[in-house]
Structure 1
Amino acid sequence: MTFHRSLIRRSALVAVTVAAGLVLAACASSSSGHDMSSMDSSSTPSASASASAGAHNAQDVAFAQQMITHHRQAIEMADLAATRASSSEVKSLATTIKGAQDPEIKTMSGWLTSWGEAVPEDMAGMGHDMSSGMPGMMSAADMTKLDKASGTEFDTMFLQMMVQHHQGAVEMAKTEQSKGAYGPAKTLAASVITAQTAEIKQMNSLLSK
């Protein structure tokens, strides 16, 4: 009888031990699963942040900085047309150019700010030569000459200079398309190519009249 009770107790003890072991194993498994889930979820934002940080390259920065300065000079030229041009077509073209390029300057400035890069200072009208290193840019002497012209002389000079200016912008935009990494910048570059190529044709047509 005593032996039978002892056997029952041992069996119960073994059962309790086994049950306890199973509970601990389950807890360990649950804890491990939680940790892995936590690691997975924390790695996702990190990966996203890395992707975001690598969404642009040095070419995108150079394109934005240079095109802002390039656009500002085109707008400075367009502003002169309002009071110096004699052709209504030249005045209308100048208005179109300013209307397209001013918003693009704001867009590119926003990119540079978000990337922690410098937005070029606005040197328009200050007599500084901004032509260095950028295709199609007018020299300070060119801008002074245009500023002093009026009537049909201004019209011809404006169109000739703006054709050259646009050709430079198209060249810069093509470089961005081939070497840039930032999608919106490449899209803007495509827009510049399309719009300014059409305007070049229009200006050449006006010059041939």
Structure 2
Amino acid sequence: MSIEINAVKRDVKGTGASRRLRRAGTVPGVVYGAGKEAVTLEINAKELFLEFRHEAFHASVLSLNLDGKKENVLLRDFQMHPVRNTIQHIDFQRVSATEKIHVKVPFHFINADIAPGVKTGGGIVAHILTEADVSCLAKDLPEFLEVDLAGLEMGHSIHLSQIKLAKGVEFVQLAHGNDAAVAAIAKTRGGVADAAEETPAA
């Protein structure tokens, strides 16, 4: 999925100027990195929000079309209005084709319904992590990471080291010796223990 963001350079700066831009239906922002000067920009608010809603917008290399010149960027920061749920400001970072990037990529969990701990054990899946920081070249960045829970038993968990990654992609935590748990099968409430507690009252 390729996402392109159209933007124009913004000459005026400051809080007052940004406020006027928002009233006019545009979002102020900045793009920086890759050894180039930072450039302030503005983007149509409606067009931006339509793309912003997609999960891939937050974990993919985006194409920024700035005054007709395209460059690859990553979303690095944004500010939302506390009440209106509109984007107030957005930051992009240029990416190099030859330098590795660190990006938080979401997990997509599959086969939870057929996991033995759920199907026969009556447990529930506990999502310990919903995303993880990966390191890779821009061309290898995955939109999401698939976590297969098909073989997970009651009381067991699946760790970063058990998740298959494409060639050239690695977990930052794992590279630092932290094989964190991603998901586990936990016992549901309302089991035997709960029933025993209700017996005296009955």
When normalised by structure 1's length, the TM-score is 0.20
Name the one with the larger helix percent. 1
Rg larger for: 1
Name the one with the larger strand percent. 2
Query: Relative contact order, CA 8 A, sep 6+: which one is greater?
Result: 1
When normalised by structure 2's length, the TM-score is 0.20
